[in-house]
Amino acid sequence: MASKRVAATALDWSVLSTRIPAENKPAFNMLKAKVDKHLRAVNSLPAELPAIDFSVYRSRIAVAGMVDNFESKYKGLQIPYPSDQGKLAEIDAQASEQKTRYAQFVNESKGRIAASLAELAKWEAMMPVEEMNLEEALDAGLTDFVIDPEQPTFYPHNETWESYIDRLKNAEPDDHH
């Protein structure tokens, strides 16, 4: 069979289909159909080329040595099967790099999740902010949310009056924001 020339490994389509999202199933099915069509075409070809009967050509061609010359060149012809040219090693290197990046991302995400859960536990253990007075809010560490009366600010209270004036002085004349 000619398929031995093309692929040394088989693809487990059932395992791959379980990992495909539902919205990509039609594209996956089209890809599988194309691969199956190509595989059928390759399998229909013989593994070896049919042998040429040069004796028939010798009996019909009058030029002496011409068929022998063609026969020797044909038998000496070797067409190398194209190699991967290092692409498989490059793909394997990328896969290992992506695995390390994935592991790093998972570890960082676990750290962010733990920090978020700790913050959530702090807020759940705290008295509701709506029920706090100013002193309780300051004791609870909510200084980012309490407006300082000594420094006038405008809504959303994220910059002081002085920084607002500086921003207006440095603004472009066309900037109306």
Domain count, the chain: 1
pLDDT bracket for residue 160 (50, 70, 90):
confident
Does residue 60 fall inside a structural domain? no
Q: What are the tens digits of pLDDT across the range 18-33?
A: 999 999 999 999 999 9
Does residue 159 fall inside a structural domain? yes
Does residue 37 fall inside a structural domain? no
Find all residues with CB under 8 Å of 163, minimum gap 6, and list them: none
Q: Are 52 and 74 in contact (CB under 8 A)?
A: yes
DSSP state of 160: B
Average pLDDT rounded to a whole number, residues 121-146: 82
Does residue 144 fall inside a structural domain? yes
Range of the domain at 164: 132-170
Q: Which of 74-83, 127-136, 149-158 has the lowest mean pLDDT?
A: 149-158
Does residue 57 fall inside a structural domain? no
Q: Are 67 and 54 in contact (CB under 8 A)?
A: yes
Does residue 40 fall inside a structural domain? no
DSSP state of 144: G
pLDDT bracket for residue 177 (50, 70, 90):
low
